[in-house]
Amino acid sequence: MKHQLLFVEDGIAIIRLKGELDHHATQLIRDEISESLYRGTLRAIIWNLKDLQFMDSAGIGLILGRMRDFVPTNGQTVILHPSETMKKIFQYSGLGSYVWPTTEEETIAELGGILNGQ
């Protein structure tokens, strides 16, 4: 599992997941973003799943857990580019409305953020 965590201006994080997301990988990602979440410096997380081939229930739990952490601050969660199978899982899990058919740049603009000074 490889992933990339990017912090965009205005409190938006992009998490690009690649390969397989399992229990071990979710713990690493959770640890990386928890500090920013608990400090209150994040207002949105964009999960880009374009290069993710596999995700087990721990991956769903990772996303749901960060959404729960966002409740006190009304933070937003957006899921981009899930596979068709993952899209069905999100829909069955009640997360279908968090899957947006947009690019990272369009999503950041929709969230009111700025990417690369633009």
Place 110 in a pLDDT band, splitting at 50, 70 and 90. Answer: very high
CATH architecture, domain defined by 2-110: 2-Layer Sandwich (3.30)
Question: Given this model, what pLDDT does residue 79 score?
Answer: 97
Model confidence at 70, in pLDDT bands (50, 70, 90)? confident
Task: List pLDDT tens digits, range 39-68.
Answer: 878 899 999 999 999 988 898 899 999 998
Q: Which residue is it, tokens 């995700």?
A: 55
Round to whole Å and give the CA distance between 28 and 79: 19
How is residue 8 written in tokens? 């965009």
CA atoms within 13 A on the CB side of 78: 22
Please state the domain extents for the chain.
2-110
Predicted confidence (pLDDT) at residue 19 exceeds the cutoff of 80: yes
pLDDT of residue 117: 43
